[in-house]
Amino acid sequence: MTVQKLSRAARIILVGAPGVGKGTQTERLMKKFPELSSISSGDLLRKNVRERTPLGIQAESKMKAGALVPDSMILRLIVNELSTLGWIRDSTLRPYAVYSSSFAEGDMTVDSVSIPSSIKTAKYTYSDHPDASFILDGFPRTANQAVQLNDIVPINMVVSIDTPAEIIIDRICNRWVHAPSGRVYNTTFNPPKVEGKDDITGEPLTRRADDDPEVWKQRLKSFKENNEPLLEHYDRAGLLLTVSGKSSDEITPQIFNEFGKRFGVPVPEVIGGL
Ligand code: AP5
Ligand code: MG
C-alpha cells in the first residue's frame, strides 16, 4: 500500500453500529494517511474504567449495560484529549487541568453536571495544518454531542458505515483486543500472528466486557435511537458520506477514494515506459 500525504487538516468522524468496523477502518486510514491520528471515545472510557478513575467507575455500569454515558461526561473527556494532543487550544488560556479526564478524587459526580461551564465559555482555536488531522471514532453519537463539538472545532467529513446487523453480531463473538492501544483482532477475519498476543507488543489480548450478544443488542438499540438525528444533522451540513458493504474490505476502498479526493495530495501518475 502506498502512503499518501494530506493537503490540509482532515477532521473526520466515523459513525456506525457497534462492531461495524469503526476501529478497523480507523487503523487502515492511519496506515494509508500517516498524518492522521485518532481518538476512540470507547477506548478512552475503557482506559478510565481500567484505571478506576471516578469517571471510569461511573461509566462502567452504563457501558456494561450497553447504554450511552452522559453527553457531559464524554464531552469533557474528548475536549481534554483534543487539548492535550494540541489539536485545539483554549484561546482564553485557561489551564486545561480544569478538564482533566482522570478526574481527581472528590471531583463532583459527572452525572450531576451539565456541559461544564469552562467548556461552554472557552473559545477554542485549531490549526488547518495537515499535522492537526484527526479521526474521531465513536464520538459524537448524539445530535446534541455533534452540536457541542461544532462549537469547539468544526468537523469537515463524516463517514457513516452501514453493514447489516446479522453480519456484525458474528464478528463480535470473535473479537479480541489489545486494551492499551485499542488494536482489534478477529479470530476469523484478521487473527493475530501469534494466537492470543498483540502483533506489535506481544502483550496478551483480552475480550471486551460489553462483547456479549445480549449487551450487543442493547448497544445496537441505543445506536438506532440516536443515529438518525445525528446523521440528519451532518447531512444538513453537507458533510455526510454513507458507505455500505458486507465487509470492511468492500468499505475501505470507498473511504480511501473519497477521503483521498477531499484531503489527499494528488499522487503523480506514473507514465508508462519512463
Ligand atoms: P465503542 O468502544 O465506541 O463501541 P461501539 O460503538 O459499540 O463500537 P465497537 O468498538 O464495538 O465496534 P467498531 O465499530 O469499532 O468495530 P471493530 O473495528 O472493533 O463504545 C463502547 C461504549 O462506550 C458504548 O456502548 C457507550 O457506553 C460508551 N460510549 C462511547 N462513545 C460514546 C459517546 N460518544 N457517547 C456516549 N457514550 C459513549 O470491528 C468489530 C470486530 O469485527 C473486530 O473483531 C474486527 O476485527 C472485526 N471485523 C471488522 N471488519 C470485519 C470484516 N469485514 N469481517 C469480519 N470481521 C471484521
Ligand atoms: Mg471500536
Q: What is the mean pLDDT of residues 60-67?
A: 96
Collapse the DSSP code of 199 into the 3-class scheme (helix H, G, I; strand E, B; otherwise coil) and give the result: coil
Asked if residue 102 belongs to a domain, the reply is: no
State yes or no: 101 annotated in a binding site.
Answer: no
- In this prediction, residue 120 carries a pLDDT of 63
Domain that includes residue 254, residue range: 11-92+124-263
Q: Does residue 219 have a known ligand-binding role? A: yes
Separation of 269 CA from ligand 2 center, angstroms? 35
Q: Is the pLDDT of residue 249 over 90?
A: no
Strand 157-162 versus strand 240-244 pairing type: parallel
Alpha-carbon distances, residue 243 vs 30, 183, 188, 230 (angstroms) = 18, 22, 23, 16
Q: 245 among the known binding-site residues?
A: no
CATH number at residue 60: 3.40.50.300
- Is residue 98, in this structure, part of any structural domain at all? no
Does the residue 119 lie in any domain?
Answer: no
CA of 140 to the centre of ligand 2 (A): 13
Q: What is the mean pLDDT of residues 240-261?
A: 93
Pocket test for ligand 1, best of 60, 147, 175, 250 (most atoms within 8 A of CB): 175
Question: Using an 8 Å Cβ cutoff, are 58 and 119 in contact?
Answer: no
Which numbered atom of ligand 1 lies nearest the CA of 25? 18
- Of the residues 30, 219, 233, 255, which should be mutated to test ligand 1's pocket, given the most ligand atoms within 8 Å of the CB? 219
Summarised one tens digit per residue, pLDDT across range 145-156 is: 999 999 999 999
Contact predicate 155/10, CB 8 Å: no
CB-defined site of ligand 1, < 6 Å: 16, 18-24, 41-42, 45, 62-63, 66-69, 74, 138-141, 145, 171, 175, 184-186, 189-190, 210, 219, 247-249
Ligand 1 centroid–CA 43 distance in Å is 10
pLDDT digits (tens, 9 = 90+) for 4-60: 999 999 999 999 999 999 999 999 999 999 999 999 999 999 999 999 999 999 999
In a domain, 78, yes or no: yes
Of the residues 22, 73, 159, 216, which should be mutated to test ligand 1's pocket, given the most ligand atoms within 8 Å of the CB?
22
In 115-270, at which residue ranges do the beta strands (DSSP E only) sit?
Answer: 124-126, 134-137, 157-162, 175-178, 183-186, 240-244
Closest ligand 1 atom, residue 247 Cα: 53
Q: Which of 66-80, 90-104, 255-269 has the lowest mean pLDDT?
A: 90-104
Residue 68 or 119, more confident: 68
Q: pLDDT, tens digit, for every residue of 134-144?
A: 999 999 999 99
13 CB contacts (<8 Å, ≥6 apart)?
135, 136, 139, 140, 155, 157, 158, 159, 234
State pLDDT tens for residues 211-224. 998 999 999 999 99
Ligand nearest to the CA of 44: 1
Contact 255, 25 (CB under 8 A): yes
Question: Which of these, 96, 87, 101, 98, lies nearest to 129 by C-alpha position?
Answer: 87
Q: Total structural domains in the chain?
A: 1
Rounded CA separation 121/102 (Å)? 22
Which residues are registered as beta bridge partners of 135? 12, 38
Q: Please give the Cα distance from 49 to 63 (Å, whole number).
A: 10
Q: 227 in a domain, yes or no?
A: yes
pLDDT of res. 227: 96
The mean of the pLDDT values for the chain is 87
Instruction: Looking at the CA of 55, name the nearest ligand.
Output: 1
Establish if 270 belongs to a structural domain: no
Residue of 122, 129, 128, 70 whose CA lies nearest to 99 = 122
SS3 content of the chain, % helix, strand, coil (to 5): 45, 15, 40
217, containing H or E segment: helix 213-236
Kindly state whether residue 141 falls inside one of the protein's structural domains.
yes
Task: Tell me if 269 is assigned to some domain.
Answer: no
* pLDDT tens digits for range 122-134: 788 888 999 999 9
- Main-chain phi, psi angles of 16, to 5 degrees: 170, 165
Output the CA 118–ligand 1 centroid distance in Å: 30
Tens digits of per-residue pLDDT, 223-234?
999 999 999 999
pLDDT at 208 over 70: yes
Determine the distance separating the centroid of ligand 1 and the alpha carbon of 65, expressed in angstroms: 15
Tell me the C-alpha distance between 178 and 203, whole Å.
Answer: 8
CA of 239 to the centre of ligand 2 (A): 22
Q: Kind and range of the H or E element at 27?
A: helix 22-32
From the CA of 18, give the closest atom in ligand 1. Answer: 7
Nearest ligand to the CA of 43 is 1
* 175 marked among binding-site residues: yes
Ligand 2 center to residue 23 CA distance, Å?
4
